[in-house]
Amino acid sequence: MFRWLLLFILIVPALEIGLLIWAGNWFGPWWVILLIISTGVLGAWLAKQQGLETINNVQRSVQQGQMPQTALLDGACILVGGAVLLTPGFITDAIGFILLLPATRAPVKRLLERGIQKAMKKGTVTIYKK
């Protein structure tokens, strides 16, 4: 796992720099700067909207005596999506919007749920319930 994370940390910024330079040459630097700023602003607004909705879902689940497991996964996706949208770049923006939009977040949540279940079966992750 650490190897993949290290590769991601090294490769994605290099690809982002290359894409930004290419886009700056193709469209012009001012358009690229405007696009970076606008995706950051749009991403922050979307993260706030989705985050507030998720907080309301968690509160509603707890009030009904249910475990808010899907809302917690939503919250994790929104947190990561908002964070990567604030970093400049096209790849991170695509990842951020995938994690922030409910329609594209649903398949990611299913993958995360399967990964957590596999880790629990292997015994590498333990979840304690009271």
Q: Residues 80-118: pLDDT tens digits?
A: 999 988 888 899 999 999 999 999 999 999 998 898 888
The token pair at 72 is 């917690």
Q: Token match 């993260």: residue?
A: 47
**Number of domains into which the chain is organized:** 1
**pTM reported for the whole predicted model:** 0.81
Structural domain contains residue 11: yes
> Residue 54 falls within a domain, yes or no?
yes
Ranges of residues in the chain whose predicted pLDDT is under 70: 1, 126-130
Instruction: Tell whether 127 is covered by a domain.
Output: no
* In-domain check, residue 130: no
DSSP single-letter state for residue 64: T
Q: Is residue 84 part of a domain?
A: yes
Whether 9 is in a domain gets the answer yes
Take residue 69 and report the two structure tokens written for it: 């497991």
Its domain, for residue 51, covers 2-122
- What percent of the chain is helix, strand and coil (3-state, nearest 5)? 85, 0, 15
